[in-house]
A and B are shown apart, each in its own frame.
Chain A
């Protein structure tokens, strides 16, 4: 099975921004420009997270999602500020193919995962995790890597799988945006803990980082941001490098 090469877009509509450790709102470009850029570069999937919707306690900007979803024929996973089944439904009708949820599920009511899976099917319900290391465990954060939940990542991933989530996107507050490599230990433990696909994000600084992550943690997909936003490489270059190193990707 090919490993998906995914681009994660941290969105403060109408811009794509790139925080470091989930802090900072430096603008990278407009949403539509970047969606086009990465679709044409050959991304397998795009993840759009409105990183401030929960933090600012504001509604989802559906028109932004719709505008972004127009010229790209690859899967579009959309999240940020999702709280109700109606949010899920409106997002699917606005162009999302999967809906991503974190803050509301981990801080308020995890049963939304059960409800959503039953209506929309597991595979369309994705749980996003912002993991931060404390001593010898990782804790789940919310509201753009700011608020502790008191829940441990390894407990939470098992719980969301049982509740019916079909996929996990795992981010690390410790490594995100720093381009110094992934938290491979975290990645391995989570991939092994569940039987649903896990996409690992946060930390790609080089082609080797991506290769090593895949070889050591065996994720279903790798989500990349900074490396591509700052044009240090392209998706084609990443895929070719991985193929050269014996890793199956979709070209």
Chain B
């Protein structure tokens, strides 16, 4: 019987959505704290008519009555709004356009009193730091949990070498910190920016305003937790890290959450999320700035600017799934009507998958590996059914610009 799946459980047959530029190699969000090596991934579904779930959802979104959704957000805010001057909503972020808009809207349109919380990037870019300051300059206070850097670097390095996923430590904290602080600060309401379901995960995830607790809370014992491909127990017993520091990466206990009655919502359910419009909102209502030049690997200047590791992240997605930042960005912009599919293809051809030259040095130094080690390690993650080596250069077997 013919093998239908390749590395990571990706379908061998590469199919492109006929509406956007995404393809069926794109994995959905993973439950990160149990992720093991070589795990099979759930990937983007493309229906018989050639349209992917994310585009399908985008069409559905056009039918949503946003007035109703605004009312629902108003009711939610009415329920949690405090009139004694104390914080009444936790807004996580790092000063990117999404968290800038979320904080501003909640404060100035819905009269809430947000406290901003940040799980900071592994390595701040200049523009990231400037935008973080601008975020606070707009009139907000902020709790930042600065990770034990020795541990964070160790986890990042392991995550890269074992899973080809250097971004994992960031994702772990980003999802867990807000509910954790909600419990600590006794502020039940947490509101994130858009839901990652926007980008093509299970459509069901988008039907609800709240983030699925499975992403940030679990009644798991330490035995079940794996960080960077290394079991938590090993991190403690063999490498000497303490539970206190590791806890930041663990999911919050559901019992704790129940005590505070924490609810994690995402703004994308209540407010029509259009990344470019979010960018405009940010520059019109704060000192937010786009990148100082085009973001390597893509064509835009306004997204995911603050963590140097992010650049590596998109390099790994390119190697593993054949999908780089320009593909992600263009698919989204097509769905939002900013560009056409043909324009997206031209941009992918020109920019997608570029080697992260700008920050590779800083990132390798951070992880304590050499550039050569990086180059060697990344090859372990290359999906053979997607790449071919021609005259010493790796090329995609099925790039979108060659598809019918």
What separation, in Å, do the CA atoms of A57 and B339 have in the docked complex?
A: 14
Tell me whether B276 and A26 are in contact (CB under 8 A).
Answer: yes
Residue of B289, B292, B302, B343 with highest tally of chain A CB at under 10 A = B292
Q: Nearest chain-A residue to B277 (Cβ)?
A: A26
Tell me whether B276 and A147 are in contact (CB under 8 A).
Answer: no
Instruction: List 15 additional A-B contacts (Cβ < 8 Å) besides A21-B283, A21-B301, A146-B299.
Output: A20-B279, A20-B280, A20-B284, A21-B289, A23-B279, A24-B276, A24-B302, A26-B277, A52-B343, A55-B299, A56-B346, A58-B343, A58-B346, A132-B293, A148-B293
| Residue B290 interfacial (CB < 8 Å) | yes
Tell me whether A146 and B301 are in contact (CB under 8 A).
Answer: yes
| Residue A25 interfacial (CB < 8 Å) | yes
Tell me whether A24 and B293 are in contact (CB under 8 A).
Answer: no
26 contacts between A and B (CB under 8 A): A20-B284, A22-B301, A23-B279, A23-B300, A23-B302, A24-B276, A24-B280, A24-B302, A26-B280, A52-B343, A55-B347, A56-B343, A56-B346, A56-B347, A57-B346, A57-B350, A58-B343, A132-B293, A145-B301, A146-B293, A146-B294, A146-B299, A147-B293, A147-B294, A148-B293, A177-B283
| Residue B338 interfacial (CB < 8 Å) | yes
**Which residues of chain B are near A143, meaning CB under 8 Å?**
294
**Which residues of chain B are near A148, meaning CB under 8 Å?**
293
Hey, which bits of chain B sit against chain A, CB under 8 A? 276-277, 279-280, 283-284, 289-290, 292-294, 299-302, 338-339, 343, 346-347, 350
What separation, in Å, do the CA atoms of A96 and B279 have in the docked complex?
A: 33
- Within 8 Å by CB of B279, from A24, A52, A56, lies A24
Q: How far is the CB of A248 from chain B (nearest CB, A)?
A: 34
**Which residues of chain A are near B289, meaning CB under 8 Å?**
21
What separation, in Å, do the CA atoms of A147 and B289 have in the docked complex?
A: 17
| Residue A83 interfacial (CB < 8 Å) | no
Tell me whether B283 and A178 are in contact (CB under 8 A).
Answer: yes
| Residue A141 interfacial (CB < 8 Å) | yes
**Which residues of chain A are near B284, meaning CB under 8 Å?**
20
Q: Nearest chain-B residue to A52 (Cβ)?
A: B343
What separation, in Å, do the CA atoms of A25 and B293 have in the docked complex?
A: 17
Given known A52-B343, A56-B343, A56-B347, contact A20–B299 (CB-CB < 8 A):
no
Given known A26-B276, A55-B299, A146-B299, contact A21–B346 (CB-CB < 8 A):
no
Q: Nearest chain-B residue to A133 (Cβ)?
A: B292
A-B pairs, top 5 by smallest CB distance, nearest first, are A146-B294, A23-B301, A56-B346, A23-B290, A20-B283
What separation, in Å, do the CA atoms of A58 and B350 have in the docked complex?
A: 12
Q: Nearest chain-A residue to B276 (Cβ)?
A: A24
Q: How far is the CB of B32 from chain A (nearest CB, A)?
A: 31
Given known A23-B302, A24-B279, contact A141–B293 (CB-CB < 8 A):
yes
Q: How far is the CB of A135 from chain B (nearest CB, A)?
A: 12
Q: Mark A29-73, 1 if CB is under 8 A from B, else 0.
A: 000000000000000000000001001111000000000000000
Q: How far is the CB of B277 from chain A (nearest CB, A)?
A: 7
Q: Nearest chain-A residue to B299 (Cβ)?
A: A55
Given known A57-B346, A146-B301, contact A21–B290 (CB-CB < 8 A):
yes
Q: Nearest chain-A residue to B282 (Cβ)?
A: A20
Q: How far is the CB of A126 from chain B (nearest CB, A)?
A: 24
Q: How far is the CB of A19 from chain B (nearest CB, A)?
A: 9
Q: Nearest chain-B residue to A134 (Cβ)?
A: B292
What separation, in Å, do the CA atoms of A20 and B293 have in the docked complex?
A: 13
**Which residues of chain A are near B343, meaning CB under 8 Å?**
52, 56, 58
**Which residues of chain A are near B299, meaning CB under 8 Å?**
55, 146
Q: How far is the CB of A66 from chain B (nearest CB, A)?
A: 22
**Which residues of chain A are near B338, meaning CB under 8 Å?**
25
Q: How far is the CB of A4 from chain B (nearest CB, A)?
A: 28
Q: How far is the CB of A81 from chain B (nearest CB, A)?
A: 12
Residue of B301, B338, B347, B350 with highest tally of chain A CB at under 10 A = B301
**Which residues of chain A are near B280, meaning CB under 8 Å?**
20, 24, 26
What separation, in Å, do the CA atoms of A178 and B283 have in the docked complex?
A: 7
Q: How far is the CB of A139 from chain B (nearest CB, A)?
A: 9
**Which residues of chain A are near B293, meaning CB under 8 Å?**
132, 141, 146-148
What separation, in Å, do the CA atoms of A177 and B289 have in the docked complex?
A: 12
Q: How far is the CB of B5 from chain A (nearest CB, A)?
A: 35
**Which residues of chain A are near B283, meaning CB under 8 Å?**
20-21, 177-178
What separation, in Å, do the CA atoms of A56 and B294 have in the docked complex?
A: 13
- Within 8 Å by CB of A132, from B276, B292, B346, lies B292
Q: Nearest chain-B residue to A177 (Cβ)?
A: B283
- Within 8 Å by CB of A25, from B339, B346, B347, B350, lies B339
Q: Nearest chain-A residue to B302 (Cβ)?
A: A23
Q: How far is the CB of A28 from chain B (nearest CB, A)?
A: 12
Q: How far is the CB of B54 from chain A (nearest CB, A)?
A: 20
What separation, in Å, do the CA atoms of A177 and B284 have in the docked complex?
A: 10
**Which residues of chain A are near B301, meaning CB under 8 Å?**
21-23, 145-146
Q: How far is the CB of A20 from chain B (nearest CB, A)?
A: 5
Q: How far is the CB of B360 from chain A (nearest CB, A)?
A: 18
Q: How far is the CB of B20 from chain A (nearest CB, A)?
A: 16
Q: How far is the CB of B338 from chain A (nearest CB, A)?
A: 5
Q: How far is the CB of A54 from chain B (nearest CB, A)?
A: 11
What separation, in Å, do the CA atoms of A178 and B146 have in the docked complex?
A: 33
Q: Nearest chain-B residue to A20 (Cβ)?
A: B283
What separation, in Å, do the CA atoms of A141 and B283 have in the docked complex?
A: 21
Tell me whether B276 and A25 are in contact (CB under 8 A).
Answer: yes
Q: How far is the CB of B190 from chain A (nearest CB, A)?
A: 29
Q: How far is the CB of B358 from chain A (nearest CB, A)?
A: 11
What separation, in Å, do the CA atoms of A25 and B347 have in the docked complex?
A: 15
Q: How far is the CB of A162 from chain B (nearest CB, A)?
A: 27
What separation, in Å, do the CA atoms of A25 and B300 have in the docked complex?
A: 11
Q: How far is the CB of A147 from chain B (nearest CB, A)?
A: 6
Residue of A21, A22, A177 with highest tally of chain B CB at under 10 A = A21
What separation, in Å, do the CA atoms of A227 and B87 have in the docked complex?
A: 37
**Which residues of chain A are near B276, meaning CB under 8 Å?**
24-26
What separation, in Å, do the CA atoms of A55 and B300 have in the docked complex?
A: 10
What separation, in Å, do the CA atoms of A25 and B332 have in the docked complex?
A: 14
